[in-house]
Amino acid sequence: MKIFSKEQIYEGDALTAKKQGITSTELMERAGTQIFNWLHLRMQGAQVPIHVFCGIGNNGGDGLVVARHLITHGYNVKTYIVNYSKTRSKDFLINYERIKGTTKDWPILLNDAKELPEIDEKDIIVDAIFGIGLNRPIVTWVKQLFNHFRATKAFVLSIDVPSGLETDAVPKDEECVVNAGYTLSFQTPKLVFFLPETAKYTVQWEVLDIGIDPEYLFTTPTEADLIGKNEVLPIYKPREKYSHKGHFGHALVIGGSYGKIGAVTLASRGVLTIGAGKVTAYMPKCGYIPLQSSFPEAMVISDVNDEKITKIDFNITPDAVAFGVGAGTDAKTISAFEAFLKTNTKPLVIDADGINILAKKKALLKSLPENTVLTPHPKELEGLIGKWTDDFDKLKKTKALSKKYKCIVVIKGANTITVYGDKLYVNATGNPSLATAGTGDVLTGMITGLIAQGYDALAATIFGVYLHGKSADLLVEELGYQSFIASHVIEGIPLAYLDLFKQPEPPQVEEAGEEEN
């Protein structure tokens, strides 16, 4: 699913009205009616008090449409105008007149914090104060109103975005943003729903289709894409009946040091379970017996040194190479990696200490083959790009790194984002169970295993990150968040693959003429 910017959303709105021959007021009616339908389906006429807070722009206009439909359907509604500016939008004004013509209970005008309305914990707040048009700091009394919402503990349903949240910036003051329980967002999720510093403003979100011109949606390229099943299905390469292990490539995993052999084992298991034909682990001698006995499917080449990698020397021809898991940053390991980079021509995936080494010796970045995949967690990323001021600055700096060295950077986190040049691929799978030791090593193996099988590096990264998260999503239902460990990600890979082709369950339809006895 594409993630459109606010400029693109405005452009799409205008184009839709023109192409479909409708007014912006009609588009607003469509948008507001969708929100009403969503609420009506869930509330079924329940008389829980609903407080609809409307701004004076088009987000407020949407709120007025919702309030009007709620009133005409007999709900227990109170409508407020949060009168933060004199400049009211045309469609706001049209809907203001419409609601006044519908009920004697006219909207209550709020002008400052003295008039904070009474709201019970069991009531519902509909937040239609600011949408994507927010472009400057909000006034103090509106902030006090937002604090009042929090204090009531009532459920907040935000329209389009939690009010106070800009679509392209991190809020300077947390109290100036509404905390939504649920956000119903028009046509596209917003990038801020996925960034660590801004995702917290809504517990859940959902996209409502308001019929924006399909051609515009299809043909307009976006800076960011949300990667779900529909996006990865075209990437998947089906297997030929007469294929053999030689068709699926040979991956080499270089890493490990005394006490950190498990990282290489996990990565190697990731390589084979994702479908590569063969895997060889290159590691210090101390890893030889543990790896051979715990994972017989892997082959091992040992370094001359017992405890760390000191010389990367092998006589195989891998199709993809992973470097770094558990490797440490000893001076000899750094020299070995440096020497390896001078002659290596194979696709590379670099993780963990491999990234720490690149951070120490930035000149090495120039020796990486084109489309090398880097999979840093936030601290490792900081080593590469320096400190960032906020999540948007982090994305900007990561894009610059990706462009300068023509590499693919996977920013690991709750919503892992793959950065390639100016493009962002936001992964939709995964959950907090993945916040446990070793899951990153498995991911490295999965991406490397996909490249070895013939997926190009970007496709392998996007697909690998998706399957990694999906595996956890499927298994966490049985295992729970706390007991999930990195090996479980590997166990869930088959389920994640099978899930790609699961048909959605057909709706249960009662046979005509069948009667209960």
Ligand X SMILES: NC(=O)C1=CN([C@@H]2O[C@H](COP(=O)(O)OP(=O)(O)OC[C@H]3O[C@@H](n4cnc5c(N)ncnc54)[C@H](O)[C@@H]3O)[C@@H](O)[C@H]2O)[C@H](O)CC1
Least Cβ distance, residue 165 to ligand X (angstroms):
10
Give dist(CA 76, CA 52) in Å, integer: 11
The one segment of 59-67, 355-363, 461-469, 482-490 that binds ligand X by CB under 6 A: 59-67
Q: Which lies closer to ligand X via its Cβ, residue 119 or residue 212?
A: 212
Among 13, 231, 303, 391, binds ligand X (CB under 6 A): 13
Contact 121, 94 (CB under 8 A): no
Residue 163 touches which member of ligand X, K ion, none, C-beta under 5-8 Å by kind: K ion
The one-letter code for the residue type at 500 is: L
| Main-chain phi, psi angles of 359, to 5 degrees | -65, -35
Residue 13 touches which member of K ion, ligand X, none, C-beta under 5-8 Å by kind: ligand X
Least Cβ distance, residue 94 to ligand X (angstroms):
11
Instruction: Please tell me whether residue 152 binds K ion under the rule CB under 5 A.
Output: no
How many angstroms separate the first and last alpha carbons of the chain?
47
Q: Which of 118, 108, 111, 45 is nearest to 84 (CA)?
A: 111
Asked whether residue 352 is marked as a ligand-binding residue, the answer is no
The one segment of 163-171, 386-394, 417-425, 434-442 that binds K ion by CB under 5 A: 163-171
Distances (CA, A) of 472 to 5, 7, 486: 30, 35, 9
Give dist(CA 150, CA 148) in Å, integer: 5
Give dist(CA 382, CA 388) in Å, integer: 8
Give dist(CA 307, CA 339) in Å, integer: 19
Structure-token pair, residue 200: 């917290």
Interaction pattern, residues 176-195, with ligand X; x per rule: CB under 6 A: ----------xx--------
Asked whether residue 472 is marked as a ligand-binding residue, the answer is no
The one segment of 161-169, 225-233, 356-364, 475-483 that binds K ion by CB under 5 A: 161-169
The one segment of 58-66, 113-121, 340-348, 405-413 that binds ligand X by CB under 6 A: 58-66
Instruction: Please tell me whether residue 58 binds ligand X under the rule CB under 6 A.
Output: yes
Least Cβ distance, residue 62 to ligand X (angstroms):
5
Give dist(CA 38, CA 19) in Å, integer: 27
417-420 and 408-411 strand pairing: antiparallel
Among 95, 158, 167, 398, binds K ion (CB under 5 A): 158
Least Cβ distance, residue 127 to K ion (angstroms):
5
Instruction: Please tell me whether residue 162 binds ligand X under the rule CB under 6 A.
Output: no
Strands (E), 83-191: 108-110, 124-128, 155-159, 180-186
Written as one string, the DSSP assignment of 406-455 is: T-EEEE-STT-EEEETTEEEEE----GGG-STTHHHHHHHHHHHHHHTT-
Residue 231 CA from chain centroid, whole number: 13
Interaction pattern, residues 403-422, with ligand X; x per rule: CB under 6 A: --------------------
Q: Which of 232, 208, 191, 268 is nearest to 497 (CA)?
A: 232
Interaction pattern, residues 125-144, with ligand X; x per rule: CB under 6 A: -----xxxxxxxxx------
Instruction: Please tell me whether residue 439 binds ligand X under the rule CB under 6 A.
Output: no
Among 5, 59, 83, 305, binds ligand X (CB under 6 A): 59
Instruction: Please tell me whether residue 171 binds ligand X under the rule CB under 6 A.
Output: no
Q: Which of 235, 290, 234, 216 is nearest to 259 (CA)?
A: 290
Per DSSP, the three-state class of 278 is strand
Instruction: Please tell me whether residue 79 binds K ion under the rule CB under 5 A.
Output: no
Instruction: Please tell me whether residue 163 binds K ion under the rule CB under 5 A.
Output: yes
Structure-token pair, residue 343: 């002659």
Written as one string, the DSSP assignment of 357-384 is: HHHH-GGGGGGSPTT-EE---HHHHHHH
Interaction pattern, residues 207-246, with ligand X; x per rule: CB under 6 A: ---x-x----------------------------------
Q: Which lies closer to ligand X via its Cβ, residue 176 or residue 384?
A: 176
Instruction: Please tell me whether residue 185 binds K ion under the rule CB under 5 A.
Output: no
> Number of residues in contact with ligand X, rule: CB under 6 A?
30
Per DSSP, the three-state class of 161 is coil
Q: Which of 198, 203, 119 is nearest to 157 (CA)?
A: 203
Contact 421, 399 (CB under 8 A): yes
Asked whether residue 330 is marked as a ligand-binding residue, the answer is no
Residue 138 touches which member of ligand X, K ion, none, C-beta under 5-8 Å by kind: ligand X
Residue 158 touches which member of ligand X, K ion, none, C-beta under 5-8 Å by kind: K ion
| Residues contributing to the annotated binding site for AMP | 412-416, 440
| Residues contributing to the annotated binding site for (6S)-NADPHX | 58-62, 131-137, 160, 263, 326, 377, 441
Which residues of this chain interact with ligand X, rule CB under 6 A? Answer: 9, 13, 27-28, 31, 55, 57-62, 84-85, 89, 130-138, 159-160, 186-187, 210, 212
| Residues contributing to the annotated binding site for K(+) | 59, 127, 163
